[in-house]
Structure 1
Amino acid sequence: MPRETLHRIAVLAAHNVLLRRRDPAHLVSYLVMPMVLMLVFKSMLGEPAQVVTGLLVMFSVLSMADVATAGLAERTWHTWDRLRATRARVPEIMIGKALPVFAVLALQQVVLLAYGMMVVGLRPAGTVWPLALAVAAWCFALLGVGTALAGVVRSQGELSTLCNIAALSVSALGGALVPYAMMPAWAQAIAPVSPGYWATTMLQAAVRGDVAGTVRPAAVLVGLGLAAGAFAWWRFGKGWGRGSLL
């Protein structure tokens, strides 16, 4: 990769790190709320793996709003056209915005998993790398979908509505709130449509140390992230942010 490209990505990433540091409210709330709920759900379900992975999936989907906000802010601030007027190309802008948000998503999930181990009683079996793979794949999928949302929504209100609905739908249909076996037959039949199903299945397999059970859902989520990222690239490349774009 050319040095100029790396420099532009680094500058954009550093700027977005600064923006994240100035507004950490979402990260804090999406850490504290699942921590409290983990203690409540543990007494109800009694299965640490289900409780920790389920709430992790639900609140990481809510965090997808932060991913989309990184791009949507350029519209509300009327700065997207200025970025496009610089030498930075669309892929460089996207990567520069994506790297800090990916780090925030990964931090959220690592902290919640560590909390689950120390407080809730989660006990991963086997090596750590399947769990690391699961976190990376889920973060990548959220990053791709969140970036794609930034090219579709037109306001922060639309984004919040979509993410709230998605968080509940993805979690409920994915078996994040209750075990998959306890879901009604119709919900089990459509569960594989939900990314939450693959994320929950993957994370629970990683906790068990099941490598094969981790890799397949991870591949599905990476494919989802690539498809969503390709759509976002196309959307941004068409001049997203201009009033004429539908």
Structure 2
Amino acid sequence: MKLWSRDGKLLKTLPGHNDTVLGVAWSPNGQVIASASKDKTVKLWSRDGKLLNTLQGHQDAVNWVSFSPDGKLLASASDDKTVKIWNLDGKLLYNLTGHSRRVNGVAWTPDSQAVSGAMPKGLIASASIDNTVKIWSRDGHLLNNLIGDGDSFISVSFSPDGKTLAASSDDKVRIWNREGTLLIALKGDKQELTSVSFSNDGKTLAAGSGNGTVIFQNLADIQLEKLLARGCNLLHDYLQTNQKVMKSDRALCSSR
């Protein structure tokens, strides 16, 4: 792992992993760095490059790591189909099982619990190639299961206000609201979409592509809630009268 200054100067090289490093994350206070590796471990480093701890417990490659908003916990996603929650002393606190294939990404809701309508503090989202994004409580309970349409999910990210969640897959980005309702699926690129992230103001979504480009989407142009309301207006009669619609689906737009 390498540390760089903002102007591109190499500051330090951190050796220690025995295989490819797949993900890194800074703690919220900027004092600790976590690295995830194909060698099945997560390592914690000080900002000056000192190895603080090695977290062992995964049975396969660790693809991503993410700190909780308060910096006290760390979530790791692995090829072993699990998400693990650790404290910074290296103790395994929770083992989140439920995915049937490798887990590529994990993200916490931002510390925005004071915002009206925002997701509660400390929720975790995990993205897997098993066609699901799962929402977990801070203590490891499964709260929601968001299903794609044959999507192998690769990356997941919450908006800064915690009201929406985006996940990238092979060729699209799906965006859900806090209740788990799919707002929109954005077509990406012919190449695999490798990552997704909201801007700090929540107005722009960036997606990395396997063709070496980054795609930017202005979310204000999409007007997610208006699109959903318009779609519900169009589907109202269909949902209520079509005999092939399941009873549970007839209320999909009842709140609009």
Give the TM-score taking structure 1 as reference length: 0.23
The structure having more radius of gyration, on CA atoms, is 2
Q: Please identify which structure carries the higher strand content.
A: 2
Q: Looking at both structures, which has the greater relative contact order when contacts are Cα pairs under 8 Å and sequence separation is at least 6?
A: 1
Task: Name the TM-score, length of structure 2 as normaliser.
Answer: 0.23
Which is richer in helix? Answer: 1
